[in-house]
Structure 1
Amino acid sequence: MSLAPIPNMGWGAVARKPIKAHTPLFHIPLDYLLTPWTSSLKAHLSDAEWESLDGGWARLILCMMWEESRESKWGGYLRNMPRTFDSPMFWGDADQAELRGTDIETRIGKADAEADYHAKLAPLLAARTDLFPAGSEHFSLDAYHVQGSRILSRSFTIPISRAGGPITEPEEDEDGDEDEEEEVAVMVPMADMLNAAYERDNARLFAEGEEEEEDVEVEEKHDFGEGFTMISTKDIAEGEQIYNTYASPPNSELLRKYGHVDILPLPEEVTSLLSAEELGNWAFGNAGDEVEIPGTLVVEAATARGITDAEARVDFWLDQGGDDTFGLTYSADGNLEPPLVPFIRLLTNADDWERAQKKGKLPKSAVDGAVLDVLEAVVRARAAKYPQTIEADLAVVAADGPLNARNAAVVRLGEKRILAATLRVVERERERLRSEEGKRKAGGKEDRAAKRRK
């Protein structure tokens, strides 16, 4: 493999020859990982100073600032990373306004990051100018944003013990099960050069021994020792890009984290859910797109139907481990799958609510008229948050104008199409219920007529 510039994706990894599935590509020893515990910064701080950085990414960010400012083994690695990004964190106000209504709007995080910098880093930087020279560009607010964006787009999450952090005895929960070990974000040189894209993943980072646990037959056996090994998961052709996408992220996440979106031909199972107006002349996008539905929207729609004890029902739902946010995706069966349907039934169906209280179980995913009414109200309320129309979004992507405006339009369009498709399936479900009701009534009339004849 080699590293090469990829159009609209920065740099990435490319196969220089055909690679078979289950081939080790490279290995990173644990002490090559850049973590708060492998960095030398901890040795220069008091326990109190170190603990003041606890929580979030502040500790890792300061370690990255520190290592980049010095001639350390990570210095060159960090100095060769990008300093500019196309992610919304670095957009101006006008461009960020194009994300109104999308799932990204409240998740850009710039204000939260700046508050974290002033609350955690600024006091320590001012107190320890022997370590952090006043006025140094390495420890500025801008540098904080850059390092945070590097973590967002390139970090891996691993168990804290593998990151060199403190190992604690696992505690048991109420059911007697041991809590999973805490996981932390770390930087893994070389592994972070592989790009991400929807359903293109052909390599994955394995911890030592993990491939054996998951029955991955590695082509060549190597005793790499402790660390992480990138292993191909599919055959990769010569010249093909190597992706480490252990997921299928929607465009909203791709744009928020990496500053790009996937624009691929949509499969027939997606286009069949859309109208000619929603497709326009642009049958492209990301089949893995989704729209988040806040639970508050569902509660508002249920309350509008006269539900007066919604708070108690919501508390029960959360106590049973239910989510407070629900995802809608492209789905031929109508996006009407758990857990959204049971939540609506719990809020709207008196029998389900009574049964849930008695048996301590959540309702099943059976769709009825009340569920469809609430779902339609929820989808329309969610769609109303976008200032632009689908037609306007299609015009922006067709014009191929400024990158930020076009990427924002691609995200909006994907979300709006999902909402439109969901409304269409809601109507289809209504037709199905009406048809079944008609058959039941017809069957009842036939039974009564048979009895009269008898």
Structure 2
Amino acid sequence: MESWLKQSGAVGLDGLELANFPVTGRGVKTLRHFKKGESILTIPSGNLWTVEHAHADPLLGPALRSARPPLSVEDTLATYLLFVRSREESGYDGLRSHLATLPTSYSSSIFFAEDELEVCAGSSLYTITKQLEQSIEDDYRALFVRVFVQYPGLFPLGKFTIEDYKWALCTVWSRAMDFVLPDGKSIRLLAPFADMLNHSSEVKPCHVYDVSSGNLSVLAGKDYEVGDQAFIYYGPIPNSRLLRLYGFVVPGNPDDSYDLVLATHPSAPFFEQKYKLWVSAGLDSTCTISLTLTDPLPKGVLRYLRIQRLDESDLAAIALQQTDAATEGKISESNEVEVLRFLVDSFCHLLDSFGTQLEKLEKQLADGVFSPGGNAWAAAHVSLGEQRVLRLARKRAEELLSAAESGSGDVRGCANCEKIPTQPMLCGRCKAVTYCGRACQVAHYKRHKAVCRAV
């Protein structure tokens, strides 16, 4: 692949080579010193796998462009990969040399055996993987009917099976790069050789797409010495997503999270009034809010539930205030207690639904029950991360509930961050809201001033 890329104008390959590493496996090794921010690799536009290039292919393009409805970006790139892999005639040698470097199998969660996936039963990964398995089957059947059987000469069915399709999808999920363009549109692409760079949270975002040239460049995310492994940064991704898309986990991942789904049916009482309040709060009637290790109970969760549980008298009082900031903080003692009791009960239920509780998983990992690096081991780390986040969320909700039930204004949550202040500070004007300190008061002022002036 390196010789093909050099001939096509790729820059930087003389300073890099593919190599095997003890923990991460196949990756990119540096052959010289690089300073942080220095360009280490550039792949020309003509060597990238993109929807545009797939549509421009003289054989494949007409088939893709004729599909109705149009294929998704994922399906287009997956079909492009399988099409090139199936060709034997000249004209695709360069692209096929790239395919030869790709894994023949993946360790994404959709390939787990049932007993391996059961290790993380109760986690979001377990639920999403089950849904994905069905979704992939449905998408493959649709692609089969809309494209493959329409052009049998292009798509020999023996090389376009559902297993081939799953391989191609995982190639796109684990190796594609996404960029937002200046016009707000986005582009997804696969870049030969650059896709061999592994992820590390120790480097900063360091791969860039040049809109004018269409080239993909990788910069050094830190200083590298000769023989180091070069990395790129995928972003702050929790283990559940890392395992689903990329097939690996980071033990003790600081970016672990739990996506909490909040929803209200349109037939619920006072839905229209509440919907307007949700919109004014930057929310919707159905919201997915990430709980994280650093912010296990985001204020958006509380604000959503406060609105959801408004009764007729609460709505009337808010209407009289005629301000969007009316639902910014606690609405009433009864509303707050109801919301927090619901949250504590919900977090307890979610934690009870995990097939293996946190302490048992920790012991199993410590005792070597799961083979390190194996599928069950990875699933255990996903479950651990989500349970830790949910336990922190439950603890925060219990603290807020205790404060609300005590009726002590000195221990109510900060109006800006919802945390319980160690040294509470009241708004000097209205004395009605509490802050952690000056920084939270300043951050909250624009939202609070309308209510403060009305008091």
Q: TM-score under structure 1 normalisation?
A: 0.73
CA RMSD of aligned residues (A): 3.2
Shift of 1:438: 7.5
Aligned to 2:80: 63
Is the alpha carbon distance of 1:142 and 1:53 closer, same or farther for their aligned partners in structure 2, counting shifts above 3 Å? farther
Aligned to 1:133: 156
Which of 378, 383, 393 is residue 351 of structure 2 equivalent to?
A: 383
Q: Which amino acid aligns with 1:183?
A: S
| Whole-Å separation in 1 of the counterparts to 2:188 and 2:283 | 26
Q: Which amino acid aligns with 2:42?
A: H
Does 1:260 pair with 2:248?
A: yes
Does 1:117 pair with 2:140?
A: yes
Structure 1 contact 18–238 (Cα < 8 Å) conserved: yes
Is the alpha carbon distance of 1:362 and 1:84 closer, same or farther for their aligned partners in structure 2, counting shifts above 3 Å? farther
Which of 231, 256, 261 is residue 289 of structure 1 equivalent to?
A: 256
Structure 1 contact 30–227 (Cα < 8 Å) conserved: yes
Does 1:36 pair with 2:32?
A: no
Name stretches of at least 5 consecutive residues in structure 1 with no aligned partner. 162-179, 211-224, 264-284, 441-454
Structure 1 contact 261–407 (Cα < 8 Å) conserved: yes
Structure 2 contact 42–217 (Cα < 8 Å) conserved: yes
Name stretches of at least 5 consecutive residues in structure 2 with no aligned partner. 1-15, 412-455
Aligned to 1:19: 34
Is the alpha carbon distance of 1:336 and 1:125 closer, same or farther for their aligned partners in structure 2, counting shifts above 3 Å? closer
Query: What are the equivalent positions in structure 2 for 1:157-236 lying under 5 Å apart?
Result: 157-158=178-179, 181-197=184-200, 199-202=201-204, 204-208=206-210, 225-236=213-224
Q: Which amino acid aligns with 1:380?
A: C
| Whole-Å separation in 2 of the counterparts to 1:286 and 1:404 | 17
Higher relative contact order (CA 8 A, sep 6+): 1
Which of 363, 370, 379 is residue 395 of structure 1 equivalent to?
A: 363
Aligned to 1:91: 112
| Whole-Å separation in 1 of the counterparts to 2:258 and 2:387 | 8
Is the alpha carbon distance of 1:227 and 1:384 closer, same or farther for their aligned partners in structure 2, counting shifts above 3 Å? same
Q: Deviations over 1:197-229 (max 9, x none)?
A: 4x323451112379xxxxxxxxxxxxxx54121
Structure 2 contact 306–339 (Cα < 8 Å) conserved: yes
Query: What are the equivalent positions in structure 2 for 1:223-372 lying under 5 Å apart?
Result: 225-263=213-251, 285-296=252-263, 308-309=269-270, 313-314=274-275, 316-317=277-278, 321-322=282-283, 324-331=287-294, 335-350=296-311, 353-354=315-316, 355=318, 358-360=322-324, 363-365=327-329, 368-372=336-340
SS across alignment from 2:152: coil
Aligned to 2:452: none
SS across alignment from 2:128: coil
Shift of 1:409: 1.1
Q: TM-score under structure 2 normalisation?
A: 0.73
Aligned to 1:278: none
Structure 2 contact 42–218 (Cα < 8 Å) conserved: yes
Q: Which amino acid aligns with 2:98?
A: Y
Shift of 1:343: 0.8
Q: Which amino acid aligns with 2:380?
A: A
Q: Which amino acid aligns with 2:35?
A: K
Q: Deviations over 1:418-440 (max 9, x none)?
A: 11122223333345557771869
SS across alignment from 1:54: coil
Does 1:149 pair with 2:149?
A: no
Is the alpha carbon distance of 1:370 and 1:82 closer, same or farther for their aligned partners in structure 2, counting shifts above 3 Å? same
Q: Deviations over 1:319-373 (max 9, x none)?
A: 8641511111112xx6333321211221234577553794355732559544432
